[in-house]
Amino acid sequence: MDFQLTDEQRLISETARDFADKEIFPRVRDNDRACRFDRELASKLGEVGYLGAPVAEAYGGRGLDYIGYGLIVEQVGRADSSARTVVSVQTSLVAGSIEKWGTEEQKQKWLPRLCSGEALGCFGLTEPDTGSDAANLRTRATKTDSGWSISGQKMWISLANFSEVALIFAQTDPEKKHRGLACFLVPTDSEGFTTQEIHGKLGLRSSDTGEISLDSVEVGDDAMLGEIGDGFKVAMSALDNGRYSVAAGCVGICEGCVEASVAYSKERKQFGVPLARFQLVQEMIADMILKRDASRMLVYRAGVLKDEGKPNTMETSVAKLYATESAVECANLAIQVHGGAGYVDDYPVERYLRDARVTTLYEGTSQIQKLIIGRAATGENAMTPMVES
Ligand SMILES: Cc1cc2nc3c(=O)[nH]c(=O)nc-3n(C[C@H](O)[C@H](O)[C@H](O)COP(=O)(O)OP(=O)(O)OC[C@H]3O[C@@H](n4cnc5c(N)ncnc54)[C@H](O)[C@@H]3O)c2cc1C
């Protein structure tokens, strides 16, 4: 067992940290205040190879392993969870699914443009009436002579308003339940495909989030990713990778909270001494370090299993559950260390709290992660009436 990063991994992490400090941090506060999705930043992420890091070089990616990918995501997440959402959705949910399930033609068509950031993609699983119970989709795909006609609604879809392609999960035969689900690569300029921005989010204010309406959207047979009945497996394999990415981003939030709190506690004086001298302040910093380090180790464990091609659903859920809850707790503690100054956006800690909050909801809520872990431990599926995959 080796707890040290290799020289190459350290370089990946340091380079990503440098990029985050120079290119992301300077924009974060203005973008957050303006609730502005920064398309230019998304392009820059693509230019440096952060939008398809684990995708094979032959398709425009960097061919990195999962540990390397996680190190990049951690640094982007330390700077800005909205930018990290672009990396996670584009890489783990969209490009990763196309690489794993796509035909050669689909890969050639989409992957190079997604990895370079020229095109963005979104992952359309959730619907107004279907969240945690992801097998129970209402969106329908009906067979036509030349392909499929898709109708339905998608809700809470990251990057919906800026994407060129959407992975749309739809039911082809309601009687078959999850075995009738299919995933389609739908160009967003298709007739009948419309989006609407969702406003008023607590955090992730510079991440784009939208609703998608599909009104008899026609696609060819070649738009299907995998086969009829693969839709649920495509979604679950994407979420296994997406959860790893969310967890790695949350390690970055924990790290950011520690760094901001240590710096502030040394600079701010009360009772004639720096805050850092107070044991109760040190206790808060120690608690953050504990959560950061434990989260990081759990992310590394999941990453190593992924790199070895071993089953890792349970370990990825453990990492996601622990790292996301830790990010919320660290951000809350970091605000406490900053006192009143932590309540406004002169410091990053209030944004860390607002941004961390969604990570315990999306890509499977904390309750769903616990049910996945419990199912792995006991062999009993307590998510009933969810159907087994
Ligand atoms: C900012 C943002 C971005 C998002 N981006 C995307 C995206 O890009 N693509 C996408 O497809 N989706 C996306 N989502 C949707 C997200 O994945 C869902 O919100 C999430 O899966 C939860 O579904 P829900 O909101 O319908 O909550 P519900 O499923 O209605 O859950 C509500 C509560 O009930 C609990 N609950 C539900 N079922 C059970 C159970 N069996 N046992 C115990 N408790 C249970 C949940 O844990 C939760 O506490 C995004 C959401 C947000 C807020």
> 320-330, pLDDT tens digit by residue?
999 999 999 99
Mean pLDDT to the nearest integer, 90-115: 98
Ligand 1 center to 147 CA (angstroms)? 31
Q: What is the pLDDT of residues 273-302, one digit of tens each?
A: 999 999 999 999 999 999 999 999 999 999
Average pLDDT, the chain: 97
CA 308 – CA 65 distance, rounded (Å) = 10
The CATH class for the domain spanning 7-120 reads mainly alpha
Domain 7-120 shares a fold with domain 233-378: no
Per-residue pLDDT at 385:
56
Among 138, 361, 383, the mutation site with the greatest number of ligand 1 atoms within 8 A of its Cβ is 361
| CB of residue 169 inside a 6 A radius of ligand 1 | no
Per-residue pLDDT at 45:
98
CATH code that applies to domain 233-378: 1.20.140.10
Q: What is the pLDDT of residues 212-247, one digit of tens each?
A: 999 999 999 999 999 999 999 999 999 999 999 999
* Helical packing angle, 66-79 and 7-19, nearest 10°: 30
Instruction: Determine which one of 218, 363, 380, 388 is catalytic.
Output: 363
Q: Whose CA is nearest to atom 17 of ligand 1?
A: 362
Mean pLDDT to the nearest integer, 118-135: 96
Q: Residue 2 — very low, low, confident or very high, per pLDDT cuts 50/70/90?
A: confident
Q: Taking a C-beta distance cutoff of 8 angstroms, is the pair 56, 63 a contact?
A: yes
Per-domain boundaries in the chain? 7-120, 122-228, 233-378
Q: Taking a C-beta distance cutoff of 8 angstroms, is the pair 316, 217 a contact?
A: no
> Whats the size of the chain, residue-wise?
389
Structure tokens at 325: 């809850």
The CATH class for the domain spanning 122-228 reads mainly beta
| Residue 363 annotated among the catalytic residues of the structure | yes
Q: Whose CA is nearest to atom 24 of ligand 1?
A: 131
Phi first, then psi: what are they for 54, rounded to 5°?
Answer: -85, 0
| Verdict on whether the full-model pTM lies above 0.95 | yes
Ligand 1 center to 108 CA (angstroms)? 32
